[in-house]
A and B are shown apart, each in its own frame.
Chain A
Amino acid sequence: MTVRNTREIADVASSSLDRRIASLGTELLGFLRRRTVDPEEVAQETWIRVAAADPDCPDDRSFRAFVYVVARRLLIDAARRRARARPLVPLDGGQHPSDDAPPDAALSAGQSLAVVERTLREMKPELAEVFRWRMTTDLSFKQIAERQGVSLNTALGRHHQATNHIARALREHGLWTE
């Protein structure tokens, strides 16, 4: 295979990826805007990860699924980073509004928090403990498993159960974004 041919193949592949990214750009941004206060940052990181992975997706549908899966993971990353960065001492008497979030988003987040807190209190303590630790600290699942004296898979399963309960409660209260 000549150098010119390999370069042409690389160019074709690159343009195909570019086309797919371009076709989903606006849609992904809209999806992220409903779920995070940093939609542009998460979108940019998503495209970086997708381009780096250059997944071997046979069609646009599977490529789209891949993009959204990566975006969802990055949403969790971004939210946990913000949660860890929040100052412990409230600067204004207890309110912690995001500078970027509109007032109705803050209200909705407050309502969701109340539902989540209640659900956490109602579930088994070991499930709630894993959820709080993994969502708001730097503890890994392995470290959490060690603290609880269980296997890694048990800790993972507990976190998933807790999240399941919370997701169900949020849906029941109409606080879920589809």
Chain B
Amino acid sequence: MSCSHATTTTVAWLYGEAPDAHALHVAGCPDCAAVADDHAGVVGALGPALGALRDAAEAPAREPVPRRSRWAIAGFGLAVAAAAALAVSTRAIPPTVPSGATAAPTIAAIDTFDAALDDLDLDVATLEQELQ
């Protein structure tokens, strides 16, 4: 953004902390008008749910799921997949199975776990909001 007011005076003005006269500048400045649009748009999208953010602001911050736990789960999945891969490799492999088949399920398992954890986080957040 080239306008020096875009992330300072204009933001202050949007929340009633700069002179009303700044409105004329905002109306004529593409950068500042875009800032106004973004801020009003966020507020508009939240609508009546904006107040729910207040509870989070006042309550102790929820501890995020430690990355260590995620890796522990993924590691368990990796161990299971590796054990399965080992079991497959010790049996007679039919000539039709491709040579890279034992590696693919392991990587796919980790990706699947991570994606599932991300989806679960969003679901939990949605449920928490509904329960409040």
Q: Which residues of A contact B (CB under 8 A)?
A: 34-37, 49, 53, 55, 57, 62, 65-66, 68-70, 72-73, 75-77, 79-80, 82-86, 88, 90, 94, 96-98, 101, 105-106, 108-110, 112-114, 116-118, 120-121, 125, 129, 131-137, 140-142, 153, 156-157, 159-160, 163-164, 166-167, 170, 175-177
User: Complex formed: what's the CA distance from A132 to B64 in Å?
Assistant: 17
List 9 A-B pairs, minimum CB-CB distance, nearest first: A35-B44, A86-B51, A136-B54, A72-B40, A132-B57, A113-B49, A98-B48, A109-B49, A83-B51
* Chain A, interface SS category: helix
B residues less than 8 Å from A117 (CB atoms):
53, 56, 125, 129
Query: Nearest B residue to A139 by beta-carbon distance?
Result: B57
- Residues from chain B with a CB closer than 8 A to the CB of A109 are 45-49
Once the chains bind, are A84 and B54 in contact (CB under 8 Å)? yes
Expressed in whole angstroms, the Cα–Cα distance for A100 and B16 within the complex equals: 26
Q: Which residue of A lies closest to B20 (CB)?
A: A53
Expressed in whole angstroms, the minimum distance between the Cβ of A150 and any Cβ of chain B is 13
- What residues make up the interface of B, taking CB atoms closer than 8 Å to A? 6-8, 11-17, 20-21, 23-24, 26-28, 33, 35-57, 61-62, 64, 121-122, 125-126, 129-132
Q: Is the CB of B56 within 8 A of A160?
A: no
Chain B hits for A141, CB < 8 A: 11-12, 15, 17
Residue on A nearest B52 in the bound complex, by CB = A113
Residues of chain A within 8 A (CB-CB) of B33 are: 65, 69
Sample (27) of A-B pairs whose CB atoms are under 8 Å apart: A35-B40, A36-B44, A55-B23, A65-B27, A65-B33, A72-B39, A73-B23, A88-B55, A106-B48, A112-B45, A112-B49, A113-B52, A117-B125, A121-B62, A134-B15, A135-B50, A136-B57, A137-B57, A156-B12, A157-B7, A157-B11, A164-B38, A166-B42, A170-B41, A175-B45, A176-B41, A177-B45
